[in-house]
Amino acid sequence: MAKRTIILSIAAFLGFIGSACADGDADKLREALRAATLQTRQLEDQRAALQAKLADAEKEKAAAKAQIEGAKAETRRVEKRERETTEEFNRRLAERDETLEKWKAAYEEAANVARDRDAARAKFEAEAKLYKASTDSCVAKNTQLVKHGQDLLQRYQSVTIGDTIVAREPILGLRRVEIQNAIQDLQDKILDQKAAP
């Protein structure tokens, strides 16, 4: 539309000048018209090329805008994935910390039980040593009691009627004192072997 307006304006201008000028001038004017027309065509070609470039630039701008939008969308997706990954990592870390605390509590409980058992074992070992020593002492004393009991039985079995008569002799009572001393010695030996609690 603008091209037609320019061409019509030039043609009208040249028509006006053509009527006013002579033939020599008309050739110059025609030549100027051709030059103006050529220049107009060149300008139109330049304008068309610039419009094509503008259209290409608009397309590139639209493509760049689409890429930017795509990049923004991809950035949002990556940020969302990163947030989700971070949340998952933090959740797993919290679970690991919770499990670790449970293991620590279980370990402490097991350590306390082990300490209690070690203390009980040490106590029982000490008591066992005391009982063993006591038992050994009782066994030794029992052996002595058996020996003294056998001595007593042997003496009892070796008593004869004559010994009985002599022991009951009322006048001096020497044998009786001797027997009583022997009984007292055996009684002392037996009492010496009594086990202490």
How far apart CA 118 and CA 154 sit, in angstroms, is 53
Q: What is the pTM of this model?
A: 0.38
- Residue 149 has a pLDDT of 74
- Residue 71 has a pLDDT of 92
How far apart CA 190 and CA 145 sit, in angstroms, is 6
> How long is the chain?
197
- Residue 180 has a pLDDT of 76
Band of pLDDT at residue 58, cut at 50, 70 and 90: very high
Task: Kindly list the domain boundaries of the chain, sorted by start residue.
Answer: 35-164+176-193
Q: Are 26 and 18 in contact (CB under 8 A)?
A: yes
- Look up tokens 């006048």; give the residue: 171
Q: Are 145 and 190 in contact (CB under 8 A)?
A: yes
> 26-57: per-residue pLDDT in tens?
788 888 888 888 888 998 999 999 999 999 99
How far apart CA 186 and CA 70 sit, in angstroms, is 117
Task: Give mean pLDDT, residues 117-146.
Answer: 85
